[in-house]
Amino acid sequence: MSLAGRRCVAVGGGKVAARKARRLLQARARVVVVAPEVDEELAAMATEVHRRPYRPGDLEGAFLAFAATDSREVNAAVAQEAKRLGVPVNVADRPQEGDFALPSTLRRGGLQVAVSTGGASPVLAREVRKRLEALFGPEWAGLVEEVGREREARLAGEAPEETERHRRLKAEVDLCLSRLSG
């Protein structure tokens, strides 16, 4: 999903909201934060910061919403407003009240490996992702780029389906994948 330039509202000013905001910034979203107290790192990331309690109307014009406060009542109110406005919402303390969960994502260049528990245990998803980091080293970024260039050349008709380079890349991919199984 492209979030570039889209207004995404995070209600909450702490570490959880900051984690969500970091991911939004990676997607080039316009990050709006609403919270009475806002962590300085989060404030520096946000496009807009409203240092006040959440109030109805804060989600107007939002593409996505995040309820990330330490107040059950506030998170529930954010979820209700989001539902009323048709804005997909992620609810940190009760994922089942939201519309989506964010996976823990490992990135190596164009390679992305996402691990999700559907919101049941973000800690478990994060730990699984950390273990995968050791298996997917930095070499994967270069491999993805090289395989992508080869694919583009084939799609553009600039290279036949089976070339020596294609066979070499396939062998390299197979070798990298075989390391995953030990």
Give the model confidence (pLDDT) of 152-166 as tens digits: 887 887 766 677 777
Residue type, 142: G
182 residues of the chain, pLDDT tens digit each: 899 999 999 999 999 999 999 989 989 999 999 999 999 999 999 999 999 999 999 999 999 999 999 999 999 999 999 999 999 999 999 988 999 988 888 999 999 999 998 878 888 999 999 999 988 888 889 888 988 888 888 788 776 667 777 777 778 878 777 877 76
pTM of the model: 0.76
Tens digit of pLDDT for each residue in 66-101?
A: 999 999 999 999 999 999 999 999 999 998 899 998
For the beta sheet containing 7-11, the strands, ordered from the edge strand earlier in sequence to the opposite edge, are 48-50, 30-34, 7-11, 64-67, 89-91
DSSP character at residue 181: T
123: enclosing H helix or E strand? helix 122-135
Q: What angle do CA 42, 43, 44 make, to 5 degrees?
A: 90
Which pLDDT value is given to residue 52? Answer: 98
155 CB-near residues (< 8 Å, 6+ apart): none
What does the pLDDT read at residue 182?
62
